[in-house]
Amino acid sequence: MFEDRTLICTECGQEFVFTAGEQEFYQEKGFTNDPKKCKACRDARKNAGRSSERELFTAVCANCGKEAKVPFRPKEDRAVYCSECYAQMKNQE
């Protein structure tokens, strides 16, 4: 029923193939318009603004006293645990 079609990306101007499988997927999802951008341009737009590096903060584990790297800014009034102590606590629950 579906056949591969060649489309032109509105972003980069390159040709890309809208495969029969992709067309079937679009139909199943109820999409009525063909894609306007090639996969590379769609991926670039999706990933724009995402930071590949996550900022880590240093804290002292409230249980064992070892240094811990955490993905949030520690607060003085909240206990922070290293990954080993946190895992032990989770297993005890």
Coil vs helix vs strand at 20: helix
Is residue 52 in a domain?
Answer: no
**Domain ranges, residue 27:** 5-47
41 and 11, same structural domain?
A: yes
43 and 15, same structural domain?
A: yes
The answer to whether 35 and 56 have CB atoms below 8 angstroms apart is no
Q: Encode pLDDT of 33-59 as tens digits.
A: 999 999 999 989 888 876 667 789 999
Is residue 65 in a domain?
Answer: yes
Is residue 16 in a domain?
Answer: yes
67 and 38, same structural domain?
A: no
pTM of the entire predicted model: 0.52
Is residue 74 in a domain?
Answer: yes
Counted domains in the chain = 2
39 and 9, same structural domain?
A: yes
Share of the chain above pLDDT 70, in %: 97
Integer CA distances (angstroms), 75 to 20, 56, 59, 78, in order: 54, 14, 9, 6
